[in-house]
Structure 1
Amino acid sequence: MNSTRDTDGHGTHTSSTAAGSYVEGASFFGYASGTAIGMAPRARVAMYKALWEEGTYTSDVVAAIDQALIDGVDVLSISLGIDGVPFYQDPVAIGTFAALEKGIFVSTSAGNEGPIFGTLHNGTPWVLTVAAGTMDREFTGTVFLGNGISISGLSLYPGNSTAAKVPIVFMNKCENQTELKELQGKVVVCQDKDQTLNNQVNNVQNSKVAGAVFITNNTDLEFFLESQFPAVFLNLEDGEEVLDYIKSSSAPKAKLEFHGTQLGTKPAPRVASYSSRGPSQSCPFVMKPDIMAPGALVLAAWPPNSPVTLVDSGQLFNNFNIISGTSMACPHAAGVAALLRGVHPDWSPAAIRSAMMTTADILDNTNHPITDIGLDNEAANPLAMGTGHLNPNKALDPGLIYDAGIEDYVNLLCALNYNSSQIQTVTRSSSHNCSKPSLDLNYPSFIAYFAASGNRSTTQEFSRTVTNIGSEMSVYVAKLVPLDGFKVTVTPDTLSFRQKYEKKSYKLTIEGFSVLKNSLVFGYLSWEDTGGNHVVRSPILATTLTVKTLSGHNY
């Protein structure tokens, strides 16, 4: 369709997340009901259609970005990316370099190919690359048993609840479709003992039963919850209560009800399993992703003529939809960037990015390290969550920032061994100077590569410059969370500032043997002011992961 209208819904959802106005009574068929509001509700939104049903062209992506620059936008939110191309073939990298030159902040999505390392797109050093995390909110359904007991589980089924109690039958693994089809009008119970939940859901969906209860220890249920048929997902402990009732009753019955929302759930946030992981193939020397923002099961606006989902009875339409992905995380960060730009109009794109990154949270709402669903709920590493979870209020006053300008990025392109033509493709200018190539960008994070074999001691050094945007007279002291097996030093370890916007430089050195016990280890450098007002945190990561850069290097 040759129309600027959103025929898919993705663009409407992301735009309203970034800057949607207040809407009372919003919900997804009763789930997440309340007043919907974007991150920057008073911002003006300009939408540019770059992807079409008839096909996707890189020229359309560049043209959309160019038009936004002409129109004078302050922030770009780009929830799309191109995989496996160097910067000079990447329309997002090319278009956003022009945005950088105009002082426009750009937020991009990391991609949805996790939890495998090296799957991230938009590893562009001059944009913010956003990973997806969960929220402290769950959507629920309830199983009402014939003995009067009710058990709450997870569900996002948008249809109606079952009208009355019907027979409930335990079908073990629910692998026999012939038997399942004979149970129409009944609720079936399936037990996932060997990670066969996906097959079980598919089998039940084809059986036309009245509903289903799935008992599983799988904690990555996000894409199972919005089922086409009535379904509730229970953990093993709650599931046992259902099984005990079925065994003890001569005529067990149950009823399923839906549309519940539970707030304040713990632990949260967690890294979504699908969120793409670094390192970036296009530039592995700059740690990506940069930060994590809410991307799991996000409620936002949806075009009324585009179906939000499909159930057994047919398509459903609604003004709001709940969907997931780094596409949903990206506009959260873009909206916060718009708020920061409103408070600090003089901040550069790098300054805004730095403020968001160095003030991010690394602890969840249980005061423990943020965990990673894709890593079996172990502690998340910076290649999954970047510097941590976005904290908008802290980003307003970061204390120190890591700034970078056009020449810094050009020096990086030179160090990637790009030739003049390739650099010109990115910068759209022939006036560049490669006399000072450097892979050591002034960035709020550190990544060091070590060989996977060998036992010689290796030292890697990084140089950084920070700008004081806090109190005129302030002193910051370096505090280190060490890397297992490495010696990390910071010189100097104290930075004294006498005035605002004063700059100070330091060096960080990582020393250790090439062989790592694990494929990666990480720690943190925090600059803490002596007044106790600011903690400027940067992750430090050492890894033996092999990344073949798209510029031809192999590290």
Structure 2
Amino acid sequence: KLHTTHSPQFLGLNPYKGAWPASDFGKDIIVGVIDTGVWPESESFNDKGMTKIPSKWKGQLCQFENTNNSSLCNKKLIGARYFNKGFLAKYSNISRTIVNTTRDISGHGTHTSSIAAGRRVDDASFVGLANGTASGIAPLSRLAIYKVVWGKDEVVSDALAGIDAAISDGVDVLSMSLGYNRNVPLYEDAIAIATFAAMEKGVFVSASAGNEGPSFNTMSNGIPWVTTVAASTLDREFHGNLTLGNGVSLTGFSFYLGEFSASNFPIVFMGMCDNIKELIKVKSKIVVCEDKNGTFLNFVKLINNVGGAKLVGSVIITNISNTDEFQFSYALPSIIINPKDGEIVKDFIKRTSGSGSIAKMSFKITSLGAKPAPSVDFYSSRGPSKICPYVLKPDITGPGTSILAAWPTNIPVLDFNSYNFGYFKLFNKFKFATGTSMSCPHVAG
């Protein structure tokens, strides 16, 4: 089976030879994760078949639900601590709403932790996409979680306290998918100072470069003694297929999760689809729309019209390649194709008429082998580091685009409400996420 994060296979990890068996799948290495906490009930953190906790572990706390000795820790998740004194001092007006727990209420920490060290979980998928077996990079390692992020703001003193605790507890590796002020000199940077202490104790530190690319001088964590991780693509893509009445089949990007009829439908070209009243008249047909200007604002208007008209299906021609802009695709039976393939579709519609202008669509197709891959993705922050420009940064890249990993079951993987699309909320044990936050734990693992 494919690993649903796919990255272990993509990186050449083989369960029978090479780095995985040579390292015993990371057995007894303690990975500390500095993040938003963890969802301990996730199957990715089960301890079935694991041996006793190594004696080098000095941690004593498992902080969930207002207790220091929660039974939610096990031989996999061996420690869980929270740090929020800095956050509460800065935001004293909301202190009553903060629950003292390492439990993840955003999903970010659960996702990154399972990438680094999650156990093998069979039959994992994102509602049918990328179905297979999920596995972290070091599936037999131990996890220690340090929750230092509360809400959208990150207070550096809490991160400093978390790093110090991790060193004291005896972690071997630190994964930090977060960033602070990138303009502070090293001697004033609390994270630089804390990670220097980690380095002195032999702790390997992996930190995310940030998601503010592709411009230069945008990276965070440009610290010489930290491994700064950029983000790259996988060779995996998610598709829908459009088969025209003449048998020609075209493939385009689609995340549509619903069911769709295998029947042929009439297909029409409606230009830029800028008139929703006209779209409603043809809503029982597959409608082809063209984003001629290739600008985000025009694209959004086109999508809103398509959603509002409640078309049976749509084909959108655009040169926008950033798939993060296609979140609507989860709820809309649509396929996004490039202008070159768009010309084929438009020519077919032009040459046929009446009952001949038909097509059918299919969805939930996962394919491998996309090229070029890996390549540094557009969002990944670039160097050089402003605080230390004479050291080449980032150090390395890792898989960061559309990574499937564990997710809390009480936090929706999709949650949006718009006038045109209506309310759409979906829960799942695994979620796709994109960013250097995802590449960082790959390197940590």
- Do the two structures share a fold, i.e. TM-score over 0.5? yes
CA RMSD of aligned residues (A): 2.2
Q: Give the whole-Å Cα distance in 1 for the aligned partners of 2:171 and 2:147.
A: 15
Tell me which residue corresponds to 2:137: 39
2:313 is the alignment partner of 1:211: yes
Q: Which of 115, 134, 145 pairs up with 2:244? A: 145
Q: 1:29 touches 1:259 (CA, 8 Å); kept in 2?
A: no
Give 3-state SS (helix, strand or coil) of 2:268's partner. strand
Equivalent runs, 1:416-455 vs 2, <5 Å: none
Tell me which residue corresponds to 1:101: 200
Tell me which residue corresponds to 2:366: 261
Q: 2:291 touches 2:298 (CA, 8 Å); kept in 1?
A: no
Q: Give the whole-Å Cα distance in 1 for the aligned partners of 2:293 and 2:302.
A: 16
Tell me which residue corresponds to 1:120: 219
Tell me which residue corresponds to 2:333: 230
Q: Which of 196, 199, 202 pairs up with 2:295? A: 196
- Letter paired with 1:326: T
Q: Which deviates the most, 55-64 or 131-140?
A: 55-64
What is the CA distance between 1:82 and its match in structure 2? 1.1
Q: Give the whole-Å Cα distance in 2 for the aligned partners of 1:54 and 1:243.
A: 45
Q: Give the whole-Å Cα distance in 2 for the aligned partners of 1:315 and 1:85.
A: 39
- Letter paired with 1:262: S
Tell me which residue corresponds to 1:324: 434
CA deviations over 1:39-89 (Å, ceiling 9, x no partner): 111101111111112743222111221221121110011001013331345
Give 3-state SS (helix, strand or coil) of 1:282's partner. coil
2:132 is the alignment partner of 1:132: no
Q: 1:157 touches 1:229 (CA, 8 Å); kept in 2?
A: yes
Q: Give the whole-Å Cα distance in 1 for the aligned partners of 2:325 and 2:190.
A: 30
CA, structure 1 residues 201+170, in 2 after alignment: closer, same or farther (shift >3 Å)?
Answer: farther
Q: Give the whole-Å Cα distance in 2 for the aligned partners of 1:258 and 1:172.
A: 24
Q: 1:222 touches 1:297 (CA, 8 Å); kept in 2?
A: no
What is the CA distance between 1:125 and its match in structure 2? 0.8
CA, structure 1 residues 6+165, in 2 after alignment: closer, same or farther (shift >3 Å)?
Answer: farther
What is the CA distance between 1:197 and its match in structure 2? 5.4
Equivalent runs, 1:471-550 vs 2, <5 Å: none
Tell me which residue corresponds to 2:344: 241
What is the CA distance between 1:306 and its match in structure 2? 0.9
Q: Which of 292, 296, 299 pairs up with 2:404? A: 299
Tell me which residue corresponds to 2:51: none
Q: Give the whole-Å Cα distance in 1 for the aligned partners of 2:260 and 2:268.
A: 18
TM-score, with normalisation over the residues of structure 2? 0.70
Which structure dedicates a bigger proportion of its chain to helix? Answer: 2
Tell me which residue corresponds to 2:179: 81
Structure 1: stretches of 5+ with no match in the other structure: 336-555
Q: Give the whole-Å Cα distance in 2 for the aligned partners of 1:191 and 1:168.
A: 14
Q: 1:173 touches 1:200 (CA, 8 Å); kept in 2?
A: no
CA, structure 1 residues 202+82, in 2 after alignment: closer, same or farther (shift >3 Å)?
Answer: farther
- Letter paired with 2:440: C
Q: Give the whole-Å Cα distance in 1 for the aligned partners of 2:248 and 2:300.
A: 25
Q: Which deviates the most, 188-197 or 60-69?
A: 188-197
Q: Give the whole-Å Cα distance in 1 for the aligned partners of 2:279 and 2:106.
A: 35
CA, structure 1 residues 55+184, in 2 after alignment: closer, same or farther (shift >3 Å)?
Answer: same
Give 3-state SS (helix, strand or coil) of 2:323's partner. coil
- Letter paired with 2:194: G
Q: Give the whole-Å Cα distance in 1 for the aligned partners of 2:274 and 2:387.
A: 44
What is the CA distance between 1:179 and its match in structure 2? 3.5
Q: 1:142 touches 1:152 (CA, 8 Å); kept in 2?
A: yes
Q: Give the whole-Å Cα distance in 2 for the aligned partners of 1:179 and 1:120.
A: 46
Give 3-state SS (helix, strand or coil) of 2:326's partner. coil
What is the CA distance between 1:201 and its match in structure 2? 4.2
CA, structure 1 residues 31+89, in 2 after alignment: closer, same or farther (shift >3 Å)?
Answer: farther
Identical columns (%)? 53
CA deviations over 1:166-221 (Å, ceiling 9, x no partner): 44331222333443455444432122333235532443234233332122344443
CA, structure 1 residues 24+276, in 2 after alignment: closer, same or farther (shift >3 Å)?
Answer: same
What is the CA distance between 1:325 and its match in structure 2? 0.5
Q: Which of 191, 206, 227 pairs up with 1:92? A: 191
CA deviations over 1:127-152 (Å, ceiling 9, x no partner): 01111110111111112334554322
Q: Which structure: larger Rg?
A: 1
Equivalent runs, 1:15-54 vs 2, <5 Å: 15-53=113-151
- Letter paired with 1:127: V
Tell me which residue corresponds to 1:485: none
Aligned length: 335
CA, structure 1 residues 210+48, in 2 after alignment: closer, same or farther (shift >3 Å)?
Answer: farther
Q: 1:154 touches 1:225 (CA, 8 Å); kept in 2?
A: no
What is the CA distance between 1:16 and its match in structure 2? 0.6
CA deviations over 1:244-302 (Å, ceiling 9, x no partner): 23221324344432111111222211110010011111111111111111111111111
Higher RCO structure (Cα 8 Å, ≥6 apart):
2
Q: Give the whole-Å Cα distance in 2 for the aligned partners of 1:174 and 1:91.
A: 52
Give 3-state SS (helix, strand or coil) of 1:269's partner. coil
Q: Give the whole-Å Cα distance in 2 for the aligned partners of 1:118 and 1:160.
A: 45
Q: 2:117 touches 2:137 (CA, 8 Å); kept in 1?
A: yes
Q: Give the whole-Å Cα distance in 1 for the aligned partners of 2:138 and 2:257.
A: 29
